[in-house]
């Protein structure tokens, strides 16, 4: 088997100025920030705490469910930004992997979180981050993304 994808454009670092403010506050396990520190339930909590710390705000929620509920209800600005950053990072990573493995048939998001944040995936930066793979953006626009519920 030989991968037909493109391996060079995988994102290594936080690309936006806001990411550079928030990422230093994400708890590092094993000495570095990896997908496991961001793209899971525990990761959403890490991102939430990092956003709060970057802005010297309170972070009263302690579970992914609480953060997600507050973000989707638009009742807590820190939770909203944390979920948006989570969705953006998920879009970046899913797009990178789709490009690496040339997932023309689509990308399938599974797991407990994806099905609970469908509104944020539809309304947020997920798709823009997924497609932001210059010079391959046109190819990325053709790749569908599905959430398994």
* pLDDT tens per residue, range 76-115: 999 999 999 999 999 999 999 999 899 889 999 998 899 9
Q: Is the pLDDT of residue 142 over 70?
A: yes
**In-domain check, residue 2:** no
Closest CA to 47 of 12, 18, 75: 18
* pLDDT tens per residue, range 7-37: 555 555 677 888 888 888 886 655 677 777 8
- Cα(102)–Cα(87) distance, rounded to whole angstroms? 21
Range of the domain at 56: 17-147
DSSP letter assigned to residue 82: H
Q: Is the pLDDT of residue 124 over 90?
A: no
DSSP letter assigned to residue 15: -
- Cα(143)–Cα(97) distance, rounded to whole angstroms? 12
Report the CATH number at residue 54. Answer: 3.40.367.20
Whether the Cβ atoms of residue 120 and residue 73 lie closer than 8 Å to each other? no
Whether the Cβ atoms of residue 6 and residue 99 lie closer than 8 Å to each other? yes
* DSSP 3-state of 20: helix
The total number of structural domains that make up the chain:
1
């Amino acid at each position: 088997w030989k991968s037909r994808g493109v391996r060079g454009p995988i994102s290594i670092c936080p690309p936006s100025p806001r990411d550079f403010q928030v990422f230093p506050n994400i708890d590092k396990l094993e000495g570095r920030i990896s997908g496991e520190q961001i793209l899971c339930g525990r990761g959403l909590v890490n991102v939430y705490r990092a956003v709060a710390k970057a802005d010297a705000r309170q972070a009263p929620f302690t579970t992914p469910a609480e953060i997600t509920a507050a973000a989707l209800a638009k009742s807590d600005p820190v939770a909203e930004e944390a979920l948006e950053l989570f969705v953006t990072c998920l879009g970046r990573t899913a797009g990178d992997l789709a490009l690496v493995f040339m997932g023309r048939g689509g990308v399938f998001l599974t797991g407990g979180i994806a099905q609970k944040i469908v509104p944020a995936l539809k309304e947020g930066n997920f798709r823009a981050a997924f497609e932001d793979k210059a010079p391959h953006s046109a190819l990325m626009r053709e790749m569908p993304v599905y959430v398994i519920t």
